[in-house]
Amino acid sequence: MSVNVTTSFVEQYSANVQMLSQQMGSKLRAAVDVESIRGKQSFFEQIGKTTAQLRTSRHGSTPQIDMPHSRRALTTATYEWADLIDDADKIRMLIDPTSSYAKAAAAAMGRAMDSVIIAAALGTAKTGVSGGTSTALPSTQKIVHGSAGLTVAKLLSAKKILDENDVDPSVKRYCVVSPEQIEDLLNLTEVKSSDFNTVKALAQGDINSFLGFEFITSNLLTADATPSRQVIAFAADGIKLGIGKDVTAKISERDDKSYSTQVYYCMDLGATRMEEEKVVEIACNE
């Protein structure tokens, strides 16, 4: 039983449990490439770019164009959440908090999923035949903070990087920011400009896209050693989320715990960056 549950006892005369402010569920799952996998480690085959060869003579030999192959490895891990509710606590609280515990557990699972995706986007990807090669996001895919927060110029640079890498424009592009970066854009864009009106609508929730990116606001973004907030711009197929076992919930009695009700959630998943050219890190000074 959670040691904090006593705050909901009858002294508060509460008829329900109020969920405190928190991110409810995953914000990034729908923005990445999701695939069901089996086993602890999965591999994803990739085919690279080739160049056509000019024919210089009639009846010449057929050219042999060797297709470059590469491979990405994805390793899953199991995440769990559980808490107990005593029958006596239900009586003292005048309510049954089981459903609220389940909501809190599901929210925790969603946040953990987002953290896994964020770490994979900017972290070290495992490549090679057996996944033994570590591949970091190169500096060419990083935009330095320049003692500034998020600016329109930085977003344009991120778009340019993806375009110069020939990232398919038909694949949705996303930009994950924290609330401070939205404030940066509003503060740094003049009121008279059309960009300001667009960013204002973005901040108010009237729209969710700007410069070809669909914006996702998250408070889970990490910071580098500077420290600068690491905003992520990416194409949807640039990050793979492998799900070995989707979020599973079980609510049952525990006879070994005086028949208390246990709320249990678990999932097994992992993520990896599929292609460096499809992910851009934008360092933002805070």
Whether 93 shows a pLDDT value over 70: the answer reads: no
In a domain, 5, yes or no: no
In a domain, 9, yes or no: no
pLDDT at 286 (0 to 100): 87
**The domain containing residue 30 runs over which residues?**
24-45+68-285
Mean pLDDT computed over 58-84: 84
How many domains does the structure of the chain reveal?
1
Evaluated on CA atoms 186, 192, 195, 201, the torsion sign reads positive
pLDDT at 43 (0 to 100): 80
Question: What's 237's domain CATH number?
Answer: 3.90.1690.10
Structure tokens at 169: 């424009």
Whether 15 shows a pLDDT value over 60: the answer reads: no
In a domain, 10, yes or no: no
pLDDT band for 9, please (50, 70, 90 cuts).
very low
In a domain, 264, yes or no: yes
In a domain, 238, yes or no: yes
- The 10s digit of each residue's pLDDT in 112-143 is 999 999 999 999 999 887 788 899 999 999 99
In a domain, 251, yes or no: yes
In a domain, 197, yes or no: yes
Mean pLDDT computed over 238-262: 89
Mean pLDDT computed over 238-253: 91
Distance of alpha carbon 13 from alpha carbon 60, whole angstroms: 90
The DSSP line for the chain is --TTGGGGSGGG--SSPPPPS---S-SSGGGSEEEE--SSEEEEEEE----PPPP-STTPPPP--PPPEEEEEEE-EEEEEEEEE-HHHHHHHTS-THHHHHHHHHHHHHHHHHHHHHHHHHSPEEESTTS-EEEPPPGGGEE--TT----HHHHHHHHHHHHHTT--TTS-EEEEE-HHHHHHHHHHS-TTSHHHHHHHHHHHTS--EETTEEEEE-S---B-SS-EEEEEEEEGGGEEEEEEEEEEEEEEEEGGGTTEEEEEEEEEEEEEES-GGGEEEEEEE-
pLDDT band for 92, please (50, 70, 90 cuts).
low
